[in-house]
Structure 1
């Protein structure tokens, strides 16, 4: 069985597009081959800045011949019906078969679709893939109609067997497929032929091209960390930058340089951000001081002077970039020291947050007020929380954040310290945006928590009040992320908050019930990852206090734990049986059986035992629920499993004695009432 090698060689592919492009190439080609009847054993895709590559092992040599039998009209059918059948099959009348059927003779068509050779199918699939490739952005060049991310220069497409390599014939817009490729643009120019993937990979390596992006990443990381280690320093880890840089070079050569003394006083995050965003440099820090003292750049070639000229040029550009950063930093500090952090943020009155929600300054006033309300609920000083909320977004008007928006909050913490504000205020400036994503740390310092909650709740209630809720997959204002942030802040800090009250305090025009339902939906998604079933959440949502998320989750965890036991699972079956019988009887009799069960009418030990068990459970559950000891309450409920099972085994509910029947139905009502006092078990599935 042959192996297939495809290389699409072009001008430089943007690094951010390469991972998706190689996966698209693999999927489009393999799906097309399989749909056409070919099979393969293994597929691997690769990318460098100038090539997309797909290697398939064990490709079948041709697609199978397909034989299809189709039943047609009867031999006595009208001529029009027969002709229609012939047109649908592409056959002539003499090619049809007459076969006996229950109602007489019937026409049958036997249609054979002959198999096709692999080269024919590969050429067809590859051309379709190239012409319809889903680049985020593409271009045309010259007079051709072909679109590609950058001008496409050559197509390598060969099938290799023990007998040798065969070029798959293909031509697209004047580009004819072949068996040749190019090595490194500078260190190994010129084309060379290959006979298969192993030969291709070996010759590329000799031509100074590292084909596998993961291998390029490993080379960069190893060399850069070793350079830093040799000087007693550490490379700052940045997986995103590592993947991007690996997509910029075909032959990575790490070079290390020093940051000039003039810039060492800049905050390390400023140095790191400036070097990453502007020049794709890795930061190198002193582990003893935390200062960024050096950088690593990755060249795309070896040079006779071992990178000295490259480093010199990079240092010149770096100095200019860091001079700008230093200018921003010093100007911002002067402003803060002369006018304070509030002075820096004064211009936010002229910055619109949303045309229906006012300016950023108006929003800050709302957050201040709400932070003051939340502070005592989270153990924070109201005065500090209000002060922190007042200045938390002031750095949005700083020159540094204007240049590097991703530093908002962080720069605010530096400026707050420079202004002599309390450390809790400085920390809130940095932390109040968190958590931003599922992997982001959750703040725990009370003042930060108060401001973070106020910020997110103001956003949610504001957009809810103006009717800008998320719809389907659209969430332009990141409201789902804000709700999840509130959920994580509440649960991670074990906070007891009445969210409905806070929603009304934040914005009286908000539909608190609708917003709370949105939170409940987000909570189900969040708890799914913690293996808490959505129906368990629904059973607890039906209980009072469902806007207290911590209480809600504790109840759900306890119920989930009980349901995981044999007693718990069987109790649910017993509860549902009791509830169903009771509902049917109430519908039939037109009355509600909700009181009056008396042990004196019990007939038999199992019925007497159930009365005693219900008394015992009620006595245990009521105080446990009042104390929010859900584990004890649900354990007492689960203990009813045995007495309920025994009761149903021994007793007939619909007794001929009407008094006994009513008493037993009221006894079932007690089962329902006691169980529903813990959670709404009717919401549980199964």
Structure 2
């Protein structure tokens, strides 16, 4: 078995592309070898700014001989079928093998040298490489058929064992020679193979293993901070990026003018990180320190003093810009900034950002007035909502969009606005992702919830919903944010109260004929159900149980849309269906439902429990159906015969379980409701074992079907068991 080394050297590969390039190189290499009948084993892929390297261990010297057999037409088939098969295989009829009246094409492919296979695979890999951005270069670039690479390809090292794999790609021939560090060892290096590649490059100031460079940056930056009595602000993304920018990383600590610390610390960190790829530090008190750590690519003779001085000047210029933005923005109060939002279109059918802000302000105030967000002062909720988007027109957010909300909070505090308002402006975008913290302050919760609810109901009202592959307005993220805000803060909000047709300021949508109403409300409810399933899946909650509870009736007779109550109900249901009583009751329910379906007893909803005093017959328009319902209602109330023991037992159990379950649901004691259902398990089992439902006597048959319908309705009062799998 033999090891193989491949190095593809070029001008600088952007750091952000290196991880994907490593994965693509391994994938393409495996595909090429697998297609040739070679199963590659251990593969290591490294990257530096100037090279991609792959080492494959334990490759065979020779591929296995392959016997390929292709089934053809029957020997009795028309001549045209045989002619087509011969053209396809490139064989003649006397080369075919006939077995049991069927022709077979047998092709024996002898083994071939893996070295030759690699010589063909390398150019194919280079040409198929899927760089996010690539270029052509040199005289050949006038042709669209010329090689594309991320930067001009300058060298290929391909060594199988100790033998050169001779190949060529884009005019670059393979060889044994590579280059060391651009400054420390700019000359050529002759590589012997996979075994000495890493150490030969290390001797020439190139650490080819990207993970090793990351470790050196991580530890070196932390040590530089410790030596100065500071604490490094860890930033793993910056570690990876700096490792992708250097071949011999040397972290160096520098200082900047302490006067810049008057700028918000997030601005300084973002300036240093985004523009210069610097780490920042904190002092012993946890405050931002006037220090930065840059990563040099050389070991400087002066210990890095000149490098630090140059970087300090560049950072000072960036921080001066940030300080200018900070000072300029503070000259204009947030209410004045907010007026500029009238000039920014939110969506052509939904008006301006100012229109959205007004909708959010009304909704936030309503959430406070109705007590949906406990402890929230309505006036503060409206004030915060009216100013929450004002920083979008500031110079600082224009330069650093990532700081939207955060800068608004700083400006609000600088203007002396209440802390609750400043905090709400700062945090109203949260939670942004699944791992983001969820606000708990009442005013912040009200504004954040109102903002996301308005986004959802507004876009649903104009029929701009996410598709399977696209979600341009981040509505899925907004829905998950709403779910987390409601559930983690225990808010009692019926989502039907913020239906799409209640969205205001959508005159254009109405004029263009965008439909609103119950259909949009149903779509939004289904959308929330889907998002809830995604969120709860990680917590181990079954999606079918969420469906079952969503379809159940709430205490007001509508569909369940109080998320806190819904999840409490789901968890109780999941616990119940995991018990023996739950499993057996589900089996009994499905048996009853199947019988009722077969006999045409779908119920049409008229035998479901009702929370009001309405007459069930008043809900039926069809005269013929009225007679059927009347008969079924009568059958529920009186029996014209003496019921059998198991039948009487089920009737008595329902008489007890129905009010108990209903009372438990009204009190939101869903575990108690499940316990009431559990009392039906033995009676329904006995009923099916001992009672003939389809009795020859029509009266008995009708009464027993009505009893099963009553059982089904009692179960549906807790959850729609028809949606439960299993």
Give TM-score, length-normalised by structure 2.
0.88
- Describe the SS at the equivalent of 1:91: coil
Distance in 1, Cα, partners of 2:76 & 2:457: 74
Q: CA deviation at 1:257?
A: 1.0
Alignment of 1:189-208 (within 5 A): 189-208=186-205
* Corresponding position of 2:651: 611
* Corresponding position of 1:458: 454
Q: CA deviation at 1:80?
A: 4.6
Distance in 1, Cα, partners of 2:693 & 2:480: 48
Of 148, 165, 168, 1:168 maps to: 165
Go from structure 1 to structure 2 and tell me whether the alpha carbon gap of 1:97 and 1:512 turns closer, same or farther (over 3 Å shift).
closer
* Corresponding position of 2:413: 417
Of 219, 228, 232, 1:231 maps to: 228
Go from structure 1 to structure 2 and tell me whether the alpha carbon gap of 1:636 and 1:212 turns closer, same or farther (over 3 Å shift).
farther
- Describe the SS at the equivalent of 1:535: helix
Distance in 2, Cα, partners of 1:399 & 1:78: 80
Moved more, 80-89 or 354-363: 80-89
Q: Does residue 149 of structure 1 match 2:189?
A: no
Q: Does residue 633 of structure 1 match 2:708?
A: no
Of 190, 212, 215, 1:215 maps to: 212
Q: Does residue 578 of structure 1 match 2:587?
A: no
Of 218, 230, 244, 2:241 maps to: 244
Structure 2 contact 361–385 (Cα < 8 Å) conserved: yes
* Corresponding position of 2:717: 677
Structure 1 contact 539–679 (Cα < 8 Å) conserved: yes
Q: CA deviation at 1:658?
A: 4.2
* Corresponding position of 1:48: 48
* Corresponding position of 1:566: 580
Of 352, 355, 361, 2:354 maps to: 361
Of 106, 112, 115, 1:110 maps to: 106
Distance in 2, Cα, partners of 1:437 & 1:309: 42
- Describe the SS at the equivalent of 1:532: coil
Structure 1 contact 253–301 (Cα < 8 Å) conserved: yes
Go from structure 1 to structure 2 and tell me whether the alpha carbon gap of 1:149 and 1:52 turns closer, same or farther (over 3 Å shift).
same
Structure 1 contact 272–292 (Cα < 8 Å) conserved: no
The aligned length equals: 674
Moved more, 583-592 or 132-141: 583-592
Q: CA deviation at 1:220?
A: 0.8
CA offsets, 1:605-652, max 9 Å, x none? 444433333233223201001111111101221332233223322333
Q: CA deviation at 1:599?
A: 8.2
Distance in 1, Cα, partners of 2:586 & 2:306: 76
Distance in 1, Cα, partners of 2:76 & 2:685: 68
Moved more, 286-295 or 182-191: 286-295
Moved more, 109-118 or 137-146: 109-118
CA offsets, 1:486-533, max 9 Å, x none? 121111111111222223443386533322322222222222222222
Q: CA deviation at 1:452?
A: 0.8
Go from structure 1 to structure 2 and tell me whether the alpha carbon gap of 1:112 and 1:625 turns closer, same or farther (over 3 Å shift).
same
Structure 1 contact 89–111 (Cα < 8 Å) conserved: no
Of 124, 130, 133, 2:129 maps to: 133
Q: Does residue 272 of structure 1 match 2:264?
A: no
- Describe the SS at the equivalent of 2:107: strand
Distance in 2, Cα, partners of 1:485 & 1:402: 25
Q: CA deviation at 1:404?
A: 1.3
- Describe the SS at the equivalent of 1:685: coil
CA offsets, 1:458-503, max 9 Å, x none? 2222222333222231122212212221121111111111222223
Moved more, 610-619 or 537-546: 610-619
Of 372, 375, 391, 1:377 maps to: 372
* Corresponding position of 2:280: 283
Structure 2 contact 461–503 (Cα < 8 Å) conserved: no
* Corresponding position of 2:689: 649
Structure 1 contact 210–250 (Cα < 8 Å) conserved: yes
Go from structure 1 to structure 2 and tell me whether the alpha carbon gap of 1:586 and 1:80 turns closer, same or farther (over 3 Å shift).
closer
Go from structure 1 to structure 2 and tell me whether the alpha carbon gap of 1:158 and 1:586 turns closer, same or farther (over 3 Å shift).
same
Distance in 2, Cα, partners of 1:465 & 1:530: 31
- Describe the SS at the equivalent of 1:596: helix
Alignment of 1:531-550 (within 5 A): 531-543=540-552, 544-550=558-564
CA offsets, 1:61-89, max 9 Å, x none? 33322223445556666655544433333
Moved more, 77-86 or 547-556: 77-86
- Describe the SS at the equivalent of 1:522: helix
Moved more, 20-29 or 288-297: 288-297
Q: CA deviation at 1:167?
A: 1.5
Distance in 1, Cα, partners of 2:452 & 2:98: 76
Q: Does residue 352 of structure 1 match 2:348?
A: no
Q: Does residue 512 of structure 1 match 2:521?
A: yes
CA offsets, 1:637-671, max 9 Å, x none? 13322332233223332334444433332322221
Distance in 1, Cα, partners of 2:29 & 2:73: 40
Alignment of 1:180-195 (within 5 A): 180-195=177-192
Distance in 1, Cα, partners of 2:79 & 2:286: 94
Of 477, 480, 484, 1:484 maps to: 480
Q: CA deviation at 1:186?
A: 0.9
Distance in 1, Cα, partners of 2:601 & 2:660: 32
Moved more, 227-236 or 314-323: 227-236
Structure 2 contact 640–699 (Cα < 8 Å) conserved: no
Go from structure 1 to structure 2 and tell me whether the alpha carbon gap of 1:602 and 1:296 turns closer, same or farther (over 3 Å shift).
farther
Structure 2 contact 13–151 (Cα < 8 Å) conserved: yes
- Describe the SS at the equivalent of 1:443: coil
Distance in 1, Cα, partners of 2:78 & 2:455: 72
Distance in 1, Cα, partners of 2:80 & 2:322: 83
Structure 1 contact 370–505 (Cα < 8 Å) conserved: no
Structure 1 contact 395–408 (Cα < 8 Å) conserved: yes
Structure 2 contact 71–105 (Cα < 8 Å) conserved: yes
- Describe the SS at the equivalent of 1:415: helix
Go from structure 1 to structure 2 and tell me whether the alpha carbon gap of 1:77 and 1:355 turns closer, same or farther (over 3 Å shift).
closer
Go from structure 1 to structure 2 and tell me whether the alpha carbon gap of 1:266 and 1:73 turns closer, same or farther (over 3 Å shift).
closer
Alignment of 1:249-328 (within 5 A): 249-328=246-325
CA offsets, 1:343-387, max 9 Å, x none? 233322222222332222222222211111112320211000001
* Corresponding position of 1:433: 429
Structure 1 contact 597–666 (Cα < 8 Å) conserved: no
- Describe the SS at the equivalent of 1:155: strand
Distance in 1, Cα, partners of 2:62 & 2:641: 82
Structure 1 contact 7–53 (Cα < 8 Å) conserved: yes
Structure 2 contact 601–709 (Cα < 8 Å) conserved: no
Q: CA deviation at 1:228?
A: 1.4
- Describe the SS at the equivalent of 1:264: helix
Q: Does residue 527 of structure 1 match 2:536?
A: yes
Go from structure 1 to structure 2 and tell me whether the alpha carbon gap of 1:410 and 1:72 turns closer, same or farther (over 3 Å shift).
closer
Of 356, 364, 386, 1:390 maps to: 386
Distance in 1, Cα, partners of 2:676 & 2:157: 72
* Corresponding position of 1:17: 17
- Describe the SS at the equivalent of 1:58: strand
- The CA RMSD over aligned residues, in Å, is 2.3
Give TM-score, length-normalised by structure 1.
0.93
Distance in 2, Cα, partners of 1:448 & 1:19: 39
Gaps of 5+ in 2: 141-145, 511-515, 553-557, 604-624
Moved more, 526-535 or 606-615: 606-615
Distance in 2, Cα, partners of 1:456 & 1:517: 17
Q: CA deviation at 1:132?
A: 1.7
Gaps of 5+ in 1: none
Q: Does residue 501 of structure 1 match 2:541?
A: no
Structure 1 contact 539–682 (Cα < 8 Å) conserved: yes
- Describe the SS at the equivalent of 1:6: strand
